[in-house]
Amino acid sequence: MIVRVNDITDKVRSLAAVEAIDEHPILKALQDEGECLFRSPLTVDVTVVREYDHIRLEADVTVVVALNCSRCLASYETTLKSNFTVFYSKSTGSFVPDEEVELGERELVSAYYEGEEINVSPEIAEHVLIELPLKPLCSEGCRGLCPSCGVDLNTTVCDCSDNRSGFAFSALKNFKVER
Ligand SMILES: [Zn+2]
Ligand SMILES: [Zn+2]
């Protein structure tokens, strides 16, 4: 998403866009690597306003993604939602790295722009990345796969857990005997 600086005034302005994953090289690369499968384009809603010496941009980004559960390996769909605030200052020419601070639920980012346009796409892609879980779970209570026989414990019952507790018990008994 590109916002024209001249269109930004001290009155809050809303902009909306639907962006294809292909417009975000980082996200497309992630999908090409098989990390996830985007099931919808990105829905982007932003408000922009000029404040003091900076431009304040608030964004809400939503996308549907298919992930593989880290416990049971099943594919499941989930909706990622990200909202963040960026304070854009006009670049003074020298390179200054973006700064980020966590303030409550919302993340605040300081960034710089040059020229007449602000390209919000890098921030959008980065915040979608942040929302991707490191260990995806199809549900909080996912029981995963049996480490012994490999069945999906969400849908199948196996006898392995009975055997395991039996083994643990006998190991404990042996331990006591040896002492
Ligand atoms: Zn699972
Ligand atoms: Zn089993």
Structural domain containing residue 156: 143-179
- All residues at 6 or more sequence positions from 33 whose CB lies less than 8 Å from its CB, including other chains: none
Confidence band, pLDDT 50/70/90 cuts, at residue 179? very low
Average pLDDT for 48-73: 95
CA of 91 to the centre of ligand 2 (A): 60
User: Taking all residues of the chain, what is their mean pLDDT, rounded to a whole number?
Assistant: 87
As a whole number of angstroms, the distance between CA 87 and CA 29 comes to 27
Reduce the DSSP state of residue 51 to 3 states and report it. strand
CA of 137 to the centre of ligand 1 (A): 5
The CA-CA-CA angle for residues 84, 88, 90, to 5°, reads 170
* Tens digit of each residue's pLDDT (9 = 90 or more) over 133-158: 999 999 999 999 999 999 999 999 99
102/173 same-domain check: no
85 touches 61 (CB < 8 A): no
14/54 same-domain check: yes
Residues with a beta carbon under 5 angstroms from ion ligand 2: 146, 148-149, 158, 160
CA of 35 to the centre of ligand 1 (A): 16
What's this model's pTM, rounded to 2 decimal places?
Answer: 0.78
Residues with a beta carbon under 5 angstroms from ion ligand 1: 69, 71-72, 138, 142
Average pLDDT for 92-120: 74
95/174 same-domain check: no
Domain tally, the chain: 2
As a whole number of angstroms, the distance between CA 61 and CA 45 comes to 7
Q: Which ligand is located closest to the Cα atom of residue 147?
A: 2
